[in-house]
Chains A and B, each alone.
Chain A
Amino acid sequence: MSRRPGRWACGVIGVAVRVLPPGRRDRYRQEFAAEMYDVRAGERFRFACGVLSRAPSLRTALAESPMEDDMDRKTTWWGRLCCTLNQHDWERARSENGEYYRVCARCGRDDYRPSGGGTGGVEFGIMGGSH
């Protein structure tokens, strides 16, 4: 049995993580990935759906206890329109494992993709959003 979580479960977790504040996504992406390895293969998708269903609660909980790495996002209607039109205000960010990626200072979208090359199946493949 492969211990690596399946594509669908990873995809659902990826969506759940996108609900969270940008400064916290890396942590929870890794944390959920680690927990998936402790869930039986047949239950991973259900586990991922459970995480997704509670992601708004987690976001609320995180908002109640802001940390330093949370970004201040005061978005005007013009900024929201720009983001809707894929004209993001990109900033460089760095993940906890040292990889650089871009994150929009307005809407929080990022183009983070974990490097998955040649790791023997340990890396957690998230469906990264690109725009």
Chain B
Amino acid sequence: MTTTTQLVLTALLDDPAVERFGAEIRMMAGLASGTLYPILARLEGVGWLESRWEDIDARVAGRPARRYYRLTAEGEMRAQDALARAHRPRIQLRPLGGEA
């Protein structure tokens, strides 16, 4: 898993119940524009994410409707697992001292 994907998942796991739109996720993850969407597309493609259009009247709001993203139940579980594995050191170091 790439570092950028980890950043996106960390942002989404900040509060998994909250739906977030692209700019919000991008700012939370600290990513450059354009980097986010391929990651979101992949995560959505494998079922970790679900998305929906914001239900607003664009004329009243003065802006187009946003696309909101949220982790699915399965996605949340798998994301936590994937991040835990990504952060786990690959070499298990033995504690120093204690043995002669």
Binding site for B on A (CB under 8 A): 3, 16, 27-28, 30-31, 33-35, 37-39, 46-48, 50-55, 57-58, 60-62, 64-65, 96, 119-122, 124
With the chains together, A16 CA to B35 CA distance in Å? 13
Residues of chain A within 8 A (CB-CB) of B33 are 35, 39, 46-48, 50-51, 54
A34 touching B64, Cβ below 8 Å: yes
Contact B37 A28 (CB under 8 A): yes
- B: interface residue count bin: 20 to 34
Contact A35 B32 (CB under 8 A): no
How many residue pairs at the A-B interface have CB separations less than 8 Å?
88
Flag if A64 contacts B23 (CB, 8 Å): no
B18 interface hit (Cβ, 8 Å): no
Give A96 to B52 CA distance when docked, in angstroms: 12
Known: A35-B22, A65-B44, A119-B59. A27 touches B67 (CB 8 A): yes
| CB-defined contacts of B39 to chain A, threshold 8 Å | 61
Chain A hits for B53, CB < 8 A = 30, 96
Interface status of B88 (Cβ within 8 A of chain A): no
25 intermolecular pairs with C-beta atoms under 8 Å apart = A28-B37, A30-B53, A30-B67, A31-B37, A31-B66, A34-B22, A34-B65, A35-B21, A35-B22, A37-B64, A38-B21, A39-B23, A46-B33, A50-B34, A51-B37, A53-B34, A57-B38, A58-B38, A58-B41, A65-B45, A119-B58, A122-B58, A122-B59, A122-B61, A122-B62
Docked CA distance A5–B70 (Å): 27
When A50-B32, A52-B34, A58-B37 are in contact, do A122 and B63 touch as well, CB less than 8 Å? yes
